[in-house]
A and B are shown apart, each in its own frame.
Chain A
């Protein structure tokens, strides 16, 4: 018999939840996670991102680690591409900000990103030919560095070549970021350059602070999910 205490509603927090509370963020539930909805006004945050650079917590992003045979990459990529269109939760109303695709990180190693509710569905699509698919949503914290000055901030933190020619939109890399391993995904928010930084959750707060520190020169702002939704509106009903 499960007690009343156990009837309490579980809630999910990212690694920077407490840091955001400390910053006075207005919190809300986003994809089932307690997340900062806004720090200031969403409009100001959005403008700052468009003109400079902003940082948001997107740890709710669904992440699947896929180990595969080299020749199966095409199958995974196509499978995810098709699945993202057919996903039961990927249609109308879904935020277009979520990069729903497979990213090849190395030979035989890919990452699939998706909405948190469609992880199971996407995992099925990625599991072609007996690939090993592991849900690593909890393993990685995810920060979104968006805005035209985002690249300048990254220059201070990583040796990865993030120049437009080396890392155009919809490309990925991995390497050191502020001395810890990170997966960097470039998935722009419309015309706003955006880098999705996946780091070990245990480093989440440290990396948040490091990116914020590095962005100080460029007046980096923290932005919440309201601004994110405004930057990348939800899909229209089909």
Chain B
């Protein structure tokens, strides 16, 4: 026997039960408390279309109990009620309803302090369950799937099944989507004739190999014209999910609880049918007031005896088949009344009677044979609209795009089934007679007919502004239960027709979708360098740089924010720093963007895009340059190395690779130049071996002459290092003699291990990004995107030297010329702190008590014994020796601007 637990108490279930049917059979009548007034609410539609049965299931809030199949051991809890559904002290809020009229939150709490006071209470009192603050312990709970079809049919009722059969027999690949465990739509919960008809159609569908059936699958949106969003719960996987496929072993159960399916279809058939909407009378929201379709589902699908004594509200004086069904189930039908005669339902926590113009009837169930509304959310999202058809007295779809069709009840064509309940077309409750002020129009947001009228009286009489002011149609039901009534009242109160009143815009999702389903499986792309495992083995502390993982430093300081972590980090960085400055260090640079630019016109393209002159760059040489946009703003920087006349090797910053590639391709497009840009970032691992003993370390490993004369600063060579074909660039970002070594990534581990081993005799240490930042700051080397921003040009950033204005043209030249003709507003300067403080990156530069600039990077310099940094300051302050004030932890601290590099200003070590 499968059991679920509701608020900790075990509930016996039966095969085919949903959470709601099991709870109802066990005697539960209150399923939730309303959003605002905490009124008790019970089952209403039993079809997942109203907000009345939202519960928390296994920690997931706002799950619709009536469409959620049971699972053994399922933990179901009530939500939005304290302490219990039966006694909720927040229901006392009804006594203050006069203080909470429609739109009260737009008028009250307008003062920030008032809102601050009220916010906590409001957030506690109103809501739709709580998201767990604890990460789910079930990593495989959600997943995404992608599927394609020639024809997607949304809705497995008779019209949908017929459409699927027709398309499949025409040779089309069909996916049929239905939100129920079995096909049949409304036929499933009607009397025998309907069930038999459904079974016949289902057998025909299942016999077709080119029809894939997705059961328990709800389509919640139509995107991009042909992309359908579908949530399947619990999913049944595999391409063949029809009965034949299941029998053939085509399905596999998994731990997945919700699957989001991206279905692309050439043609879409909307067969979503129609749904029943409530009628308006006082206390129409009491538990025990239920739509006739909901009653039918409980009776025929779940075999639940719904009540002992029922009153049926129907415009059919005999009550139609509903009365027969109730009697057949052993329910006493006390009375059948027509809707104009209904005054009020009575009762406290559940209905005890119905007061009408002809008297009061005691009962424990009021069955509302409501109006029927096309389930047309997808129609609107497809670009079509629902139009009020006066002669038919119904909304019908219009203006659908050619690849979308609507069939069946959603198109205003009710299915004729012998013995089936009569479907009344929508008559818009409230359109003809004034509804009771205390009747609830919107069950999701607790909006009454009185509220609706008041909003209109306040001037919100356009359907869209009215919606935003009252929040009608904005709750979990997305307007299914309330839109028709709201339009009806709006039309009546404004003396407009239903057509003129119109409908609100339909947007996805049309059904509640869990955030977990949208997020899918935990696939977060991560980029790893070829030496990732070696860094891990060396005990590095990782940092995220976009999708890349980079060693911040070696040695663990996971609690870097704590004092212990900070000290460990400082010790590690100093050790790495001293290795580079005094001996030799090695850093993994594989994350640098790397582009290969080839072709006879490669130099022409690079000269066009980069500010430095590259056309005259000799093979075997490298140059630094920046890229600017038309406005002269620095977009990126990097080095360009010429390996051959028609072959350049370009590096970019780690984060800007894709942009630089697109930028180069953009400017090459349409030129007819012979040039191609290839991203080879992942193909090359890279390290920088730097320090006074770097040459001693590397020379024995290669036949390439690394001497100063043979391999000067800013030279590049292709050479083997320890048998690996490499590209060697003599570049000095950290300010020491050093080589960037780029090599095929598959040799990464081998070369890293070998260099560390060979470097033991020279005191080598690997160093991380944090140490690199200290080293480069001492050399005043700028990092584009860190020390520059979306307003920085080379003139203000002291990089004007890299813009060769005597070049014929390059992107941004005119803007840089213009910038040179005037004094910049700000300048990028370097500073040294007077005392021992280290400012945070982003700290304010303060003058006369006002922030006038900002620190972009600051670190403690071991060479200077004080903190140094780069900062943007007003041009008037940008003079060598100028004293500035920096905000450090809320206190002002002094600093002086320094024009030259903090370390080796002549560049002697770099070039040696």
Contacts and interface: CB of A to CB of B under 8 A. Distances in A.
A159 B684 CA distance: 29
Nearest to A9: B723
Contact of B754 (A5, A67, A130, A203): A5
Interface string B731-766: 000000000000011111111001001100000000
B700 A202 contact: no
Contacts, number: 157
B676 A132 contact: yes
A96 interface: no
Given A3-B700, A18-B533, A139-B679, A179 B525 contact: yes
B757 A5 contact: yes
A92 to B, nearest CB: 27
B864 interface: no
B767 to A, nearest CB: 21
A218 B252 contact: yes
B528 interface: yes
B750 A159 contact: no
A202 B703 CA distance: 30
Given A136-B683, A214-B143, A218-B252, A178 B523 contact: yes
B798 interface: no
B724 interface: yes
A201 B256 contact: no
Contacts of B239: 151-152, 155
Contacts of A166: 148
A13 interface: yes
Contact of B682 (A13, A163, A201): A201
B145 interface: yes
Contacts of A201: 530, 682-683, 745
Contact of A138 (B252, B262, B526, B745): B745
B652 to A, nearest CB: 15
B423 interface: no
Interface residues of A, number: 57
Nearest to A4: B700
Interface residues of B, number: 60
A180 interface: yes
A218 B254 CA distance: 9
A180 B526 CA distance: 10
A85 to B, nearest CB: 28
Interface string A131-146: 0101011111100000
Nearest to B744: A138
A179 B682 CA distance: 17
A180 B701 contact: no
B528 A15 contact: yes
A132 B596 CA distance: 11
A205 B750 CA distance: 18
B682 A200 contact: yes
Nearest to A139: B683
A15 B531 CA distance: 9
A201 B528 CA distance: 8
B539 interface: no
B148 A206 contact: no
Contacts of B9: none
Contacts of A141: 682
- Which has the most chain A C-beta neighbours within 10 Å: B145, B721, B745? B745
19 contacts: A1-B700, A10-B750, A12-B744, A13-B530, A13-B749, A15-B528, A15-B745, A17-B749, A132-B678, A138-B680, A139-B680, A151-B239, A155-B146, A178-B523, A179-B525, A202-B528, A206-B527, A213-B140, A217-B237
The 10 residue pairs across chains A and B that have the minimum distance between CB atoms: A139-B683, A3-B700, A138-B683, A12-B746, A201-B682, A202-B527, A217-B254, A132-B676, A200-B682, A18-B533
Interface of A: 1-3, 5-15, 17-18, 33, 59, 65, 67, 130, 132, 134, 136-141, 151-152, 155-161, 163, 165-166, 178-180, 200-206, 210, 213-214, 216-218
Given A5-B701, A11-B750, A134-B598, 5 more contacts: A8-B723, A10-B747, A17-B749, A141-B682, A210-B521
